[in-house]
A and B are shown apart, each in its own frame.
Chain A
Amino acid sequence: MTWTTLTALLSHWRRNGLQFFALISGLALATALWSGVQAINAEARASYDAAAATLGEGQFGQLLPRTGNRIDQATYIALRRSGWQVSPVLEGRIDTTQGRVRIVGLDPLTAPGNVAPVGMQEGTSLDDFLTRGVLFAATDVADQLENAVSQRIVTDPSAAPGVALTDIGVAQDLLDAQGTLSRLILAPEQPMGRPDLAGITPDLVLQPAQDAGADRLTDSFHLNLTAFGLLSFAVGIFIVHGTISLAFEQRRGMVRTLRALGVPLGRLIGLMIAELVLFALIAGAIGVALGYVIAAVLLPNVAATLQGLYGASVAGTLQLRAEWWLSGMAIAVVGTGLAAAGALWKIAHMPLLSSARPRAWAVASGATARRLGAVAGLLFLVGVGIEIRGKGLALGFVLLACMLIGAALLLPLVLRGAVTLADRQARSVVWQWFWADTRQQVPGMSLALMALLLATAANVGVTTMVSSFRVTFVDFLDQRLAPELFISAEDAAQSPDLEAFLIDNAREVLPLLSVETEIAGVPSDLFGARVGPTYRNNWVFVAETPEVWDRVARGEAAVVSEQLARRAGLWTGDAVAVAPGLSLPIAAVVADYGNPLGQALIDEAVFSDLYPDRVPTRFGVRTDDAAGLREKLVERVGLSDAAIIDQARIKAFSLEVFERTFTVTGALNVLTLAVAAFAILMSLLTLASLRVPQLAPAWALGMTRRRLGRLELLRAVVLAFVTTVLAIPLGLLLAWVLLSYVNVEAFGWKLPMYVFPGHYALLTVFALLAAALAALWPALRLARTPPSDLLKVFANDR
């Protein structure tokens, strides 16, 4: 019995290939969207990590030589043997005919996280990197190196500017530094009970991981991207839901017959679940693979990281990474389950003798549309409640969910309303028929249009969010990374000499004086600043009072960060106790995207009075010749390369990485829109068979098939237009919640939101184009329906 029933169930798909294709591809696309977004997200993260690491920026702790520039390789081996998770780095410069190039040698096998080069491309295996010797560098550096080294040079746009990246052994050869290293990177997780550093080697000092400024900003960015990853999954779920409920609806008759012939309901449902799980697995596998292909095609130069994600390609063998595939499949199965639960429930409760005729599925009548609208209203109310009273990150996401689901549920009602409105304006009989017929089509297309709504809203949201980030990020970099170089003294004793040297050789010197303290109950850093042109010209405030810097310089006021201000409930004009016994009015509040702690800034002199023992060991330096100053510092003062951070380079590089992420999100936008268009295509195609009986009377009454086809096309565009018009405010709302609610909850600061109307207009055009493209084929098919099919409608009217 089981087998016979299964044959009958499966025969439906054999006979209706298009529906089967719609089901599998809908599922596969939803999974692909999810895994593609994950891949793109992971890729963006890896880019940042690689950027930070190659620049020697301190997201990881490091071991540096106490004196001089070099560590003996034996020390490294001794550390590894004793259990320390460290990875060696060797840095130095080589001369080329066009200037000097900084060489950074890494050990990809021990390096933590994604320190290894991002752009290992096809044809470059890890093996190559280790044995043959390959250097990775941006185009200009690669050209420079062309004739200077014998190793193969791979152009990698993601490499840091002015740097060539290679294996540690190759670097030792190139720099003629066999057996020595510059620094050791500490993996974030170290085994318990490893011996003391001093016990192994007295020559190294530990430099703890430093908050690299931009880290937190990018963290927030990723949180938001993840939120959009979920959104894209929601788009996928709507598509899957549409295809699955359609599939069930079309088999209502068969289910009824099977039950009448004696197949028990439980068995039938069990078989349908098994069938769905099988399809979900097949589609999930296709989807994960497709996600990989999409990500790789959209971002051709990140194939290596993707390989790392999906399975490391070591020495030519592809090892699939189980978790990745499993998570993709799980998403497909869970998504199918979510989408199918309702349909299965309906089947289970369908009276055996109920009508077998497929109704327009899922969102049936005007009454249903109104009911959904009511639910939507309820969800919006909950959302508003959360916005007014809510606290916490989780609630922020609930708020997002309320808005999105609410908007999607509202859509059928809005569409009906729009069509009714148009109907009232209609003068001719044809147009009256057109609008009435369109109203009939709304339920059938609802789910696909909901997918379009979410896709377009995601698009608007992502663009608004990313562009707002970009504008803010550039401002922030200008402000915080204004000094061209940041220089660390080896110890307090060296500090006065170093400062004197810097003052002689640079335009402006900004000592970085700080203590960790608690201000107004918030753990904070208190800074002593040397107020000068850099502060005056570059700092942008969230809120300010007149003559901020003059008052700070006179020791009469303080500047606090937004986090501190929000958490302590203070704002400009309020007094803040920056230290026991010293209370100053807040002259300005500054946005500080780079910090989990609060910050307060007072004049250098006031700071020195409070903390006379503090000597600055770090300096920001303004100079027009960063490279020259750097060389002087290394050669004359004897600082190590790692002690000098080239902010201009970090800035340029961060911007470039950000640009890449920007193109990535552009790709993501194209992807979601394409998937939504596909959903429309599929729902139109599957609806086509239901359409024939509806159109036959119009045809019989004298409308040509061509005209009917053209009207079908128009209908899709009209519905898509109304949907898009609703999607734009939804997307803006989405971006607003992410930037001003979720971000505040997660990181303590609000990101300013910028609006880009030109982009939204363009997007509307794209959405309409996508809908028209999707409707083209079904319309053509309809225009070519043989008259005999239309006649059948009248022959077999039963």
Chain B
Amino acid sequence: MMLTVQDVTKTFAGGEGDLPVLRGVSLSLDRNETLALTGESGSGKSTLLHLIGGLDTVGSGAIEIDGHDITKMTDSDRAALRRTDVGVIFQQFNLIPSLTVAANMAFQARLAGRYDADQAARMSDALGLTPHLDKYPEALSGGQQQRVAIGRTLVARPKLVLADEPTGNLDEATARQVLDQMLDLVTETGAALLMVTHSQSVARRMKRQVHLSQGRVA
């Protein structure tokens, strides 16, 4: 198994008492497998993704990536895992504003120490970003920025890709194209893909689907 999530809970401390967001979520994902995570707004999809990415800590439960329980890891081990094995595509674009599109695309691959210029060029072609490589993020539209964020993750070829509504900002044609790219790469590298989405058409293209409701898998 590439990813196993077991009985994970997460509670946020809020103004009017605690807010339990995840109440015992379990799921698993194999190599080369794709999974769509759906659920209504506020159901805790992003929260779960952040926990899997090691960006936040669980209330209880276990999350194993490639056989290692990340809930028992130190911060820096989790950082190392994100650098090399797990790629997170955020709901907000999270680009580095002072780097060009090209440098942003190459960034995570460079951090992981496996940057390949040819592959990066293919990726930017496929994402339609080649004419914009020398621009800075502020000069791009929202959809273009989202594509840069996707490219940044895919160029680094992680084993596990976590994507939070990566195509939410794109028009239908581009969305389909980007999705094709992601699925191709996942197939090509044998990576696993966990994608949060609201769109049924996107969800249907994943091998499996999981629906979150009331903090549990429905």
- List A residues at the B interface (Cβ < 8 Å): 1, 4-5, 7-8, 11-12, 14-16, 253-254, 256-266, 351-353, 356, 796, 798
Contacts and interface: CB of A to CB of B under 8 A. Distances in A.
A4 B106 CA distance: 10
A262 B75 contact: no
Contacts of B113: 1
B55 A261 contact: no
B42 interface: no
B76 A352 contact: no
Nearest to A5: B111
A15 B82 contact: no
In the A-B complex, the 9 residue pairs with the closest CB atoms: A262-B83, A262-B82, A15-B98, A11-B98, A264-B76, A264-B79, A4-B110, A12-B98, A257-B94
A14 B95 CA distance: 16
27 contacts: A1-B83, A4-B111, A7-B103, A8-B98, A8-B107, A11-B99, A14-B98, A16-B98, A254-B97, A254-B98, A258-B96, A260-B55, A260-B88, A260-B90, A261-B88, A261-B108, A262-B80, A262-B81, A263-B79, A263-B83, A264-B75, A265-B75, A352-B55, A352-B56, A353-B56, A798-B92, A798-B142
Interface string B129-140: 000000010000
A257 B104 CA distance: 11
A264 B81 CA distance: 10
B28 interface: no
Nearest to B158: A262
Q: Which one of A254, A261, A265, A798 has the greatest number of beta carbons of chain B within 10 Å?
A: A261
Interface string B45-64: 00000100101100000000
Nearest to A11: B98
Nearest to B109: A4
B111 A256 contact: no
Interface string B69-85: 00000011001111110
A790 to B, nearest CB: 15
B216 to A, nearest CB: 22
A2 to B, nearest CB: 10
B97 A15 contact: yes
Interface residues of B, number: 30
A633 B95 CA distance: 89
A264 B80 contact: yes
A259 B79 CA distance: 7
B111 A1 contact: yes
A532 to B, nearest CB: 81
Q: Which one of A4, A5, A353, A798 has the greatest number of beta carbons of chain B within 10 Å?
A: A4
Contacts of A260: 53, 55, 82, 88, 90, 94
B117 to A, nearest CB: 15
B68 to A, nearest CB: 15
B136 A15 contact: yes
Given A11-B103, A15-B97, A261 B111 contact: yes
Contacts of B112: 262
Contacts of A4: 107, 110-111
Contacts of A351: 56
Contacts of B98: 8, 11-12, 14-16, 254
A692 to B, nearest CB: 13
Q: Which one of A12, A14, A262 has the greatest number of beta carbons of chain B within 10 Å?
A: A262
Given A1-B113, A266-B76, A796-B142, A261 B107 contact: yes
A262 B136 contact: no
A248 to B, nearest CB: 15
Nearest to A266: B76
Contacts of B53: 260
Contact of B99 (A8, A259, A353, A356): A8
Nearest to B82: A262
Contacts of B94: 253, 256-257, 260, 356
B96 A257 contact: yes
Contacts of A257: 94-96
A261 B83 contact: yes
Contacts of B95: 257
Contacts of B50: 353
Nearest to A8: B96
A798 B96 CA distance: 17
A310 to B, nearest CB: 38
A798 B94 CA distance: 13
Nearest to B90: A260
Interface string B104-128: 0001101111000000000000000
Nearest to B76: A264
A11 B96 contact: yes
B76 A265 contact: yes
A266 B78 CA distance: 13
A262 B84 CA distance: 8
Contacts of B103: 7, 11
A353 B79 CA distance: 14
A796 B145 CA distance: 12
A305 B52 CA distance: 67
Contact of B79 (A11, A262, A798): A262
A266 B55 CA distance: 16
Given A1-B113, A257-B94, A260-B88, A353 B55 contact: yes
B73 to A, nearest CB: 12
Given A12-B98, A257-B96, A259-B79, 18 more contacts: A4-B107, A4-B111, A8-B98, A8-B107, A11-B98, A15-B97, A253-B94, A254-B96, A257-B95, A260-B82, A260-B94, A262-B79, A262-B82, A262-B112, A264-B76, A351-B56, A352-B56, A353-B50
Interface in B172-216: none
A378 B65 CA distance: 53
A266 B90 CA distance: 23
Contacts of B75: 264-265
Q: Which one of A5, A257, A353, A356 has the greatest number of beta carbons of chain B within 10 Å?
A: A257
Contacts of A15: 97-98, 136
Contacts of B83: 1, 261-263
Nearest to B94: A257
Contacts of A798: 92, 142
B44 to A, nearest CB: 14
A256 B56 CA distance: 13
Contacts of B76: 264-266
Nearest to A261: B108
A795 to B, nearest CB: 9
A262 B111 contact: yes
Contacts of B107: 4, 8, 261
A8 B81 CA distance: 20
A257 B55 CA distance: 11
Nearest to B86: A262
Contact of B97 (A1, A5, A253, A266): A253
B150 to A, nearest CB: 14
Contacts of A265: 75-76, 79
A257 B82 CA distance: 12
Nearest to A4: B110
Contacts of B82: 260-262
